[in-house]
Amino acid sequence: MEIELLYFELCPHYEIALKYLQEVIKEKKLDVPVKVVKIRNDKEAIENRFLGSPTIRINGRDIEPGAQEKEDFSMCCRFYLEGGEVMKFPSKNMVRRAIENAVQEDEKIIKGGVPMAIDPVCKMKVEESKAAATSEYKGNKYYFCAKGCKKAFDQNPEKYLGEEKKGKR
C-alpha cells in the first residue's frame, strides 16, 4: 500500500490530515509509511494532479469519492464534502474508509489474481476490467482510473512513460 499526503507550505490543515492518517494506520496495525509531498508551484500542482491542500491518495487514488474526475489542479486550499458538510480537511472517518477500501483491494489482488495495471499518469492501481478508459500506444495497452488521466496521457504519452513503462500490458 502506498499513501501520499500532498500539501503546500502555508496550508494550516495538512498537519491535521497527517495526524488522522497516522492514527488510522496505527489503529489498523499497518506498517505503511506516509509519503509527504510538498507542492511548491502551479507547475508541480499540475504535474502531481494536485486538487489543493491537503490531498491524500492511497494507491494513487484520491480519498474523496469522485475526485478522480476533477481537473482543477492548483495551489489552493482544498475542501471536502462529507454528509452534506463542507470541511477544510478530510474527516478521520473518510481517511479510515479509504484505508479500509485499499486494504480490501490489496487482499482481493493477492487472493483472486485480479488483472491489474498501473495508471501511467497518477500511478494508481487499476483493475483492468473496471478501468475508466484505455489507450493504445506503440502496440501497448494502458489503463486509466479516470478520463482526465487518459486525456493527459494521450496529449503526451512519453511524459508519463519516461524511464518506467508502468501500466503496460
What pLDDT is recorded for position 112? 61
Distances (CA, A) of 48 to 60, 93, 138, 152: 11, 25, 25, 12
List of residues 6+ apart from 104 with CB closer than 8 A: none
Polymer length in residues for the chain = 169
CATH assignment, 3-112: 3.40.30
User: pLDDT digit string (tens) for 116-163?
Assistant: 788 898 888 888 888 899 999 888 899 998 888 899 899 999 888 874
What pLDDT is recorded for position 1? 86
| Mean of the per-residue pLDDT values of the chain | 87
Q: Where are the domains of the chain?
A: 3-112, 116-161
User: pLDDT digit string (tens) for 86-127?
Assistant: 999 999 999 999 999 888 877 666 556 667 788 898 888 888
